[in-house]
Amino acid sequence: MWYYLSMIFSGIHHTALICSDYGRSRAFYVDTLGLTVLAETFRAERNSWKLDLDVNGAGRIELFSFPDAPERLSYPEARGLRHLAFAVSDVEGAAAELRRKGIETEPVRTDGQTGKKFVFFADPDGLPLELYEYP
């Protein structure tokens, strides 16, 4: 029997990110954004950390550190993963909380296709992150 893979996918399990400064990025995702640590492992053979984070039961982020990882272009936009979006019920309130914590955000905008509010900000390595109104 032939199956389309989309028929058997049950969701997105995780998104993997590579950071330049593990301590700084760990503090950002755990202390500033409030994600929950599921596991933290130092892999001596790679001189690399792997941090598994829970996104409020709705997915996971794997945060990796690798020595001398090359930079990835974010601006101008390049091919590949464009950004990571977090679903929130109150974009304006969540953006205000980020700003209270010293995180700069772009102005809140409204998606012309869906009518939902969204706002962009960045992690310590400049990775574009988004808050998107859901539902």
- Strand, coil or helix: 98: helix
Distances from the Cα of 37 to the Cαs of 34, 54, 72, 127, in angstroms?
9, 6, 25, 20
Domains of the chain: 14-68 (3.10.180.10), 83-135 (3.10.180.10)
Statement: the pTM of the whole predicted model exceeds 0.85: yes
Q: Work out the average pLDDT over 79-87.
A: 89
Question: Which pLDDT score is estimated for 10?
Answer: 77
Question: Which pLDDT score is estimated for 122?
Answer: 96
Burial class for 91, CB neighbours closer than 10 Å (0-12, 13-18, 19+): buried
Task: Decide which of 10 and 112 is more confident.
Answer: 112
Decide if pLDDT at 40 tops 90: yes
